[in-house]
Amino acid sequence: MTFQRGFAVDSVLLTEMKVADQRGVEIAEPPSGADEVFVDSGCLVEVDDSFRDRYYAMVRIIFSPNVYRVGKVPHESLTDVRAAYARKRIIAIDRQNELDVLSEAANGWAERKVRMSWTDNCPSGLALDQKVTVVEGGPSSFTVSTDGGHRVVVAYADFSLSDITFERSEAEIEERDTRLESRRSLELMSAVDAFKILSRVAVVARHLGDPAMVDLKVAETSAAFESACVRYLSRSPQFRNRPQVAAVTAQLVNGFTDRVGDRFAIWLRPGAQGVGTEVHEALHTAGAAGFDQRATNFLSEGIVEYLTRKAVGTDFDRSGRYDFEVEFVDDLIQLGATTEADLVALYFTADWTAFDARLRAYAGDLVGIDELWAQAEGGHHGAAIEYLRQLATDKEAPITDHLAGS
């Protein structure tokens, strides 16, 4: 029996109930009251993840130190509360970090006339994806202005960085366009050469496919590249029916990998070739299909760029490309929450079971793993790492306190 915490149960009767100790050995003479079979709604239980049954789960409820009530309950009576637990703790950590710096940040936004839009939890008076300019910062709020001159005051108490997206400034656009233009004459690396560079990393080399099945192309113009990228992005749930968000995102992309049957098509923006982008995108062709079924884009790009940098070494300067994602992956390794070998196995074989087990060994069974990736994807990557660090220090963190009122 391998019981995991982090589950709540509806009002239900325990069937095949027994009273057991920590090792699962039945107690012949249980303490008074320990042999009750009724469980109150909302009671926190532990679930045996080694028990397999179509209709029932094996659970245990602590009655007193080293005394447990063990029995079966229907699957539909259980609720996994680990995700809510993780979400609440991570957001709380990030919220405190935000409040510590928002006033200073907003003053800087106003000074630079930063443009932004809301992707979620939009303030009253504005619409999702509507572009606004920050015109004033203050101690408890900042003010934005629409292109029509309508002003809206946004209180820091009601604001989250994960709900917005920043528009690139004219200076940033000009700098990037200049950089790309200077690289237009660089030679496009072949798929064969990209695979050779990836083969420098032994653990990667074993999983590479046939470069002959990969088509590498540079779009004729940036406009043509972005149009193709929007079509590619629009197939994913994140961008479906949100063409404006897809268009803004496409402006930030230098390359993408699409799969057509058994072949892969890698498209690059003009000027993105010859600086290692081909290596990064080639690595995307080698990932296991099962990896993307659970991985967020943030985690995927973090692992791919982490391994890309190991492969290219000093051949190419990869700074400025997925820096936050790589930092997140590196932090996971430095914490001891995972290892480089675990990440490689996860990406190339989709062995989520082994990866999850390693993460739980570090942080405990309360860690809501999928929620961890979702919060990192949503902009809370630093807080997600801090959450893991805190949970590793205190695996018995009071889940009921964090779930109260959720």
Which residues have a Cβ under 8 Å from the Cβ of 238 and sit 6 or more positions away?
Answer: 297
Domain edges within the chain:
3-80, 83-167, 185-392
Half-sphere exposure of 394 (CA within 13 A, CB side): 6
Task: Answer yes or no: are the C-beta atoms of 72 and 58 closer than 8 Å.
Answer: yes
Residue by residue, pLDDT tens for the chain (406 residues) are 789 999 999 999 999 999 999 999 999 999 999 999 999 998 999 999 899 999 999 999 999 999 999 999 999 999 999 999 999 999 888 888 888 889 888 998 999 899 999 988 999 999 998 999 999 999 999 999 999 999 999 999 899 887 898 887 777 778 878 888 888 889 999 999 999 999 999 989 999 999 999 999 999 999 999 999 999 999 988 788 888 888 888 988 999 999 888 899 999 999 999 999 999 999 999 999 899 889 998 999 999 999 999 999 999 999 888 999 999 999 999 999 999 989 999 999 999 999 999 999 999 988 999 999 999 988 889 999 999 999 999 887 777 776 665 5
Specify which residues 132 forms β-bridges with: 116, 146
Query: What backbone phi and psi angles, to 5 degrees, belong to 321?
Result: -115, 110
Which of 131, 142, 135 lies closest to 104, judged by CA? 142
Q: So what's the pLDDT on residue 404?
A: 65
Give the pLDDT of residue 180. 85
Would you say 39 and 14 are in contact if contact means Cβ atoms under 8 Å apart? yes
CA distances from 58 to 81, 125, 255, 326, 400 (A): 17, 51, 48, 39, 21
Give the pTM: 0.80
Return the pLDDT at 242.
Answer: 84
- According to CATH, what is the number of the domain 83-167? 2.30.30
**Read out DSSP for 7-35?**
EEE-SEEPEEEEEE-TTSPBPSSPPTTTT
